[in-house]
Structure 1
């Protein structure tokens, strides 16, 4: 019987780290080989199951990513930009599939991730859910069909602890709208209006961010013209949708050629 692919989860004590742990452990499709945390974290050196308040799982929590990745075929990474860049290089050395759900990545981070992808499979997406990726494709198609008489606004809401804005998903949707119109998102993007801003510029793509409570994730793409609106909406109520998508991505990546992929590739969209 073929052995299941071994998975390492980085930032394993965080919200997504815990959800990824449960999803992989319950899947029957992969096996957990280690959880990674920063040096000095109280979970380091302990069994992951016990850290989560349950029975031992036989899965260590370590601060040695090199050793952990060396025994893995996949890495699930929802951490922070600087950490993700470091993990990308280490996963590439280990030839492990690196699934990146980290948001807030800047151009310098993306360049380093692209360099790592020359040696291993990297699947990166601002959102791993099936529904959101279908929404991205719909956004692109509608933007292509409607001219600049239709204003485009992306409105997103997340929990109070989220540190970046607009969200990675909002930027995915904005990029899809820009692609549909054949324009540069950087040139069309308008974020965080405040004060006397003047009339809205024709052809701009606006972003608005809401932060509060424990909102998992809500995204609206509004196409507004005189006399009518089209609103596309996705509501996430359970982080498990992102974890299931990440697991699907890391399994899909096994046997793929080195390179950068996204959830559209994974889902065949």
Structure 2
């Protein structure tokens, strides 16, 4: 079976981790292109060596960066999403998008593009987070509104969105499992204004410090017992490996909108 040709969009922290992951798995993946700003981290010695070995030069033109790709992986910023969706849809390229903080209009564009190309979207590419999401949703469905729910979100000091996309994903999954509209039960008070928290609200606590790749915790409490689900990342390579797994899984899929729970369903052993 021939290698999967992947084009990477973005050369920030995650983009560089993806470049390293592709280079480390050269028996399955080939770097077909890189779309990056001139001030990205591509000047670091190991990244420069990877690009030279692959015979790839960073491109400022998106179509030229993705023209030879079997799958495109996007870890840029939300401001680039509309352009990327339009280009991948126009060229018929499957898209794996791991961008956090995407605007509502751009999310609609992603879903619309899925009418023509396979689109895999995940705010967090970790299989562990996919399992945590499923487990927390099950707990929410079983325990109901008798239990108060709190979600803790810890990331590096440069992360812009708060709560993180992963924290919101967890909150949305639990709210849906409890039959609630997430925006009506989301409680986040970053200014500590003392805003009243509703009995059924899902509370968020956010910390941004150091170079932490990410820790999330979901707690269910009712005064008599406490159930805690958690996930901690020690290396960003987790997300890069997850994105490559998603790219491999997406190859050959029909046009449609996919996510980590779809991938997880294929990995879950079938009971006989």
> 1:30-109 counterparts in 2 under 5 A?
30-38=29-37, 41-42=38-39, 52-54=47-49, 56-57=52-53, 58-109=55-106
- Classify 1:54/1:71 alpha carbon distance in 2 versus 1 (closer, same or farther; 3 Å): closer
Contact 2:58 2:65 in 1 (8 A): no
Instruction: State the Cα RMSD in Å.
Output: 1.9
| CA displacement 1:221-257 (0-9 Å, x = unmatched) | 0111112211111001110110011001011111101
Q: Deviations over 1:24-83 (max 9, x none)?
A: 121121100111113xx1579xx9896724362211111111112121111111111121
| TM-score normalized by the length of structure 2 | 0.91
Report the secondary structure of 1:183's partner residue.
coil
Q: Spell out the pairing of 1:179-190 with structure 2 (5 A cutoff).
A: 179-190=176-187
SS of equivalent residue, structure 1 residue 119? coil
Aligned to 2:195: 197
Partner residue in 2 for 1:6: 5
Q: Do the aligned residues in 2 keep the contact of 1:48 with 1:60 (CA within 8 Å)?
A: no
Distance in 2 between residues matched to 1:195 and 1:83, nearest whole Å:
34
- Displacement of 1:8: 0.7
1:20 aligns with 2:31: no
Q: Which has the larger helix fraction?
A: 2
For structure 1, which segment, 135-144 or 186-195, has the greater mean C-alpha deviation from structure 2 after superposition? 186-195
Kept in 1: contact 2:119–2:256 (CA 8 A): yes
Instruction: Determine helix, strand or coil for the equivalent of 2:159.
Output: coil
What secondary structure sits across from 1:82 in the alignment? helix
Gaps of 5+ in 2: none
Specify whether residues 67 and 181 from structure 1 end up closer, same or farther in structure 2 by C-alpha distance, changes over 3 A only.
same
- Residues 63, 163 of structure 1: CA spacing in aligned structure 2 closer, same or farther, 3 A cutoff? same
Aligned match of 2:133: 136
- Pairing of 1:119-158 with structure 2 (within 5 A): 119-158=116-155
Question: What is the rounded CA distance, in whole Å, between the counterparts of 1:143 and 1:196 in structure 2?
Answer: 26
Give the count of matched residue pairs.
Answer: 262
